[in-house]
Copies of this chain bind each other. A is one copy, B any other.
Amino acid sequence: MRAVALLGGPKEEWPQDIKSEFEKAKARHDLIVGVDRGSLLLEEMGIIPDLAVGDFDSLKKDELNKIEKSVPDIRYSNPVKDWTDTELMLKAVFEDYHVLDLKIYGATGGRIDHFLVNLLMLLNPEIRHFSEKVTLIDQQNIIKFYLSGRHLIKKEAAYPYFGVAALSSIQNLNILKAKYLLKNFSSSYPRVFASNEFKENNDSFELNFTSGFVSVIFSKDLDRFDHVIS
Contacts and interface: CB of A to CB of B under 8 A. Distances in A.
Interface string A8-46: 001110100011000000000000000000000000110
Contacts of A217: 111-113, 116
B168 A116 contact: no
B224 A80 contact: no
Contacts of A227: 11-12
Contact of A213 (B10, B84, B165, B189): B189
A165 B74 CA distance: 29
A15 to B, nearest CB: 11
Given A12-B12, A168-B189, A192-B117, A112 B84 contact: no
Interface residues of A, number: 53
Given A111-B141, A113-B194, A80 B11 contact: no
Nearest to A45: B229
Contacts of A70: none
Interface of A: 10-12, 14, 18-19, 44-45, 80, 84, 108-114, 116-117, 120-121, 123, 138, 140-141, 143, 161-165, 167-169, 180, 188-192, 194-195, 213, 217, 219, 221-222, 224-227, 229-230
6 contacts: A45-B229, A111-B194, A111-B195, A111-B219, A114-B163, A168-B190
